[in-house]
Amino acid sequence: MSDEGSFYQRDRSWHPPAFTPQYKTSILRSPQYPLLSLGNTASEMTGPVFGHDEIGPLDNDLIRNFAKTGDPIGQRIIVYGRVLDENARPVPGALLEFWQANAGGRYRHKKETYLAPIDPNFGGCGRTITDGEGRYWFRTIKPGAYPWPNGVNDWRPAHIHFSVFGHAFAQRLITQMYFDGDPMIWQCPIVQTIPDKAAIEQLVAALDRSVTLPMDALAHKFDIVLRGRRSTLFENRMEGN
Amino acid sequence: MVQSLRRLKESPSQTAGPYVHIGATPNWVEITGVWKEDLGLVLVGPETKGERIILKGRVFDGSGIPLKDALVEIWQADSDGLYNSPQEKRGKADPHFTGWGRQPTDGTTGEYRFETIKPGRVPYPDGRLMAPHITFWIVARGINIGLHTRMYFGDEEAANAECPVLARIEHKVRVPTLIASRPEENGMPTYTFDIHLQGEKETVFFDI
């Protein structure tokens, strides 16, 4: 019964491998030994939880949470979706953190030197906790594309970074969301670290006109899937499904 | 055609990038006033039970240079070996200890540093006790999927010798990559745990 309620193993052919030489920094930052497979113990099946009391009222509003003299410049958007597990069950109470560049592709970070200006009214960070049905949403400015010193002419597609805490440390995940229709998605060495086209498409958010606020903000839907738990067979009930 | 199992696929990981601090530790990169304090910087308070310790170290790339843009998270049990998590079924953990911490590596020296407590022992699924350990998760630019490892304590030789997880490491010469030494610094027990992503001293990383 040692596997009771443990998480499905990660499909590491779906995730990017560690060594992806077209993304140059990965060359010296990728382990060369194989990972040691470890069945889940209590150390992996537990994880920190965060309360709604730790979250401020503007934490999911990047249009307002750093504003000093007015709204930031750029295309107003809403990003919303659900956090689910692989059994398609909602993950309530999940902490999501997100960060991004401004409309011109400039990050507010002391090590950033891109010549596009910072926006005095845009910080670029937000966070929220999923509700009882695993839903979340936030409001922001659509980030711009961004050049980076990988190849001599490499540009990141518009993207928002996501950090997700599920219910267990085994589910911990950081990923990036891209915008449907952006031609740069398919030219990006970081996107291309993911070997499977269908896996890349899982990170591309659809434009959702049914949630768009007329005369105000476009909307994009982005669902996130975390690892699911095994069923406990031959007990009183199936726990995972 | 057989019936579909209809499971969803996990969202694929992507690198945290060089500016992970904007989202994880915004105050640390001078994005102030959005939220009051960065999560995970402080683990212990005056009421936390257990022996206070410092954990510190650096994360090295394959050329031996420390990463100055990494983010290190730790997750650990309390001094009785219980996790402060709703998924903990064995008892109630110390309410004054969250067990989770997060620190960036220093932009100049590459050092990370946590003040925490020494954890108690936690059972392996078959009931044997694992040696006291702290789970680490490392993300950074150039790391496509977060790396999991564990830190064990150099002064727990007997427990380390019988730990069922350390016993799974086939190449015994690699076991010391998970064990932190304990010199005292200013009267505080201070464990140094350096992580090597690649090369001769490569740390053991887990698929958990």
Mean pLDDT of A187-202: 98
Evaluate if residue A234 carries a pLDDT over 80: no
Tell me the chain B residues in contact with residue A49 when contact means C-beta distances shorter than 8 Å. 85-86
Distance (Å) of CA B104 to CA A72, A191, B118: 28, 25, 21
B111–chain A nearest CA distance, Å: 17
Name chain A contacts of B77, Cβ cutoff 8 Å: 42-43
pLDDT on residue B98:
96
The C-alpha torsion from A46 through B182 and B102 to A51, rounded to 10°, is 50
Quickly state the pLDDT bin for A238 (edges 50, 70, 90): low
A150 interfacial to chain B (CB closer than 8 Å): no
The percentage of chain A sitting over the pLDDT mark of 90, rounded to a whole number, equals: 89
Is there a contact between A103 and A116 (Cβ–Cβ < 8 Å)? no
Find residue A225's DSSP bridge partners: A84
Given CB atoms, is B120 within the 8 Å cutoff of chain A? no
- The residue of chain A with its CA nearest to that of B21 is A109
Q: Is the pLDDT of residue A241 over 70?
A: no
- Chain A residues with beta carbon closer than 8 angstroms to that of B27: none
Residue A192 has pLDDT above 80, yes or no: yes
Residue B2 near chain A (CB below 8 Å): no
Residue A126 has pLDDT above 60, yes or no: yes
What is the reported pLDDT for B1?
A: 82
String of DSSP letters for A71-137: PPSS-EEEEEEEEEETTS-B-TT-EEEEE---TTS----TT---SSPPPTT---EEEEE--TTSEEE
Note whether A82 contacts B: Cβ–Cβ < 8 A: no
In this complex, is the C-beta atom of B15 within 8 Å of any C-beta atom belonging to chain A? Answer: yes
Beta carbons of A141 and A77 less than 8 angstroms apart: yes
**CB-nearest partner of B135 from A56, A66, A169:** A169
Nearest to A224, CA basis, from A156, A170, A161: A161
Per-residue confidence (pLDDT) for residue B42, from 0 to 100: 95
Q: Give residue A237's pLDDT.
A: 56
Cβ–Cβ contact B19 with A under 8 A: yes
pLDDT of A4 reads 57
- A236 pLDDT band (50/70/90 cuts)? low
Query: Do A123 and B26 count as a contact with CB atoms less than 8 A apart?
Result: yes
CB B170 within 8 Å of CB A6: no
Which residue, A2, A106, A77, is CA-closest to A45? A2
Determine how many CB atoms are found less than 10 A away from the CB of residue A155: 16
Residue whose entry in the numeric block shows the structure tokens 């310790």: B53
Residue B5: how many CB atoms within 10 A of its CB? Answer: 5
The pLDDT of residue A239 is 54
Contacts of B99 in chain A (CB under 8 A): 48
When CB atoms are compared, the residue of A9, A58, A88 closest to B8 is A88
Q: Which of B22, B88, B174 sits opposite A108 (nearest CB)?
A: B22
pLDDT recorded at residue A232: 67
Token pair for residue B114? 């946590």
Q: What's the average model confidence in pLDDT over A165-174?
A: 98
Distance between B11 CA and the closest CA of chain A, angstroms: 5
A2 — pLDDT class (breaks 50, 70, 90):
very low
Estimate to the nearest angstrom the gap between the alpha carbon of A85 and the chain centroid. 14
Q: Does B137 touch chain A (CB under 8 A)?
A: yes
Mean residue pLDDT of chain A comes to 94
SS3 for B9-47, per residue?
A: CCCCCCCCCCCHHHHHCHHHHCCCCCCCCCCCCCCCCCC
Q: Mean pLDDT across the stretch A171-189?
A: 98
The Cα–Cα gap between A226 and B9 comes to 8
Question: Tens of pLDDT along A43-66?
Answer: 999 999 999 888 999 999 999 999
Q: Which of A146, A178, A220, A227 is catalytic?
A: A146
Nearest CB to A41; choose among B63, B125, B140: B125
pLDDT of residue A230: 87
- All residue ranges of chain B with pLDDT < 70 are none
- The ipTM value here is 0.96
**Closest of B135, B156, B148, B153 to residue B197, by C-alpha:** B148
Alpha-carbon gap: A141 to the closest alpha carbon of chain B (Å): 15
CB atoms within 10 A of CB A134: 20
Q: What is the amino acid identity at position A66?
A: F
B135 to chain A, any CB pair closer than 8 A? The answer is yes
Phi, psi of B31 (to 5 degrees): -95, 90
Mutate to test the interface with B, among A54, A85, A109 (most CBs of B within 10 A): A109
CA–CA min distance A214, chain B (Å):
28
